[in-house]
Amino acid sequence: MNPKKTPREKVKESARKFKLETKKSINTAIVAALGFLIALVWRDVITEWVNELTAMSPVQGKLISALIITMVCVVGILIVTRLMRVEE
């Protein structure tokens, strides 16, 4: 049987849940900000590299560029998601 919680216990539980959600939100905001900063810094480097790769290819530019950048971003998202896990 589950004993009834006192009002104080309910408040503590609610505060714990709020703290956990706040931590998750802050982690998400920080990761998004850092990801945006990284994207801005690497944008020119990646563009130049992809332009050199696509110059050798019969299929030009944007398709190959989109595929390469998508793969890099998906791998990055997977890595960050594993590193930033929040224990519940």
Instruction: Give the tens place of pLDDT for each residue, 3-44.
Output: 788 988 889 999 999 998 988 888 888 888 888 888 888 888
Domain ranges of the chain: 7-83
- What H or E segment, with its residue span, contains residue 21? helix 7-55
pTM of the model: 0.49
The whole-number pLDDT of residue 86 equals: 64
The interaxial angle of helices 62-83 and 7-55, nearest 10 deg, is 150
The whole-number pLDDT of residue 60 equals: 62
The whole-number pLDDT of residue 50 equals: 74
Residue 61 near residue 51, CB atoms below 8 Å: yes
CA distance 52 to 39: 19
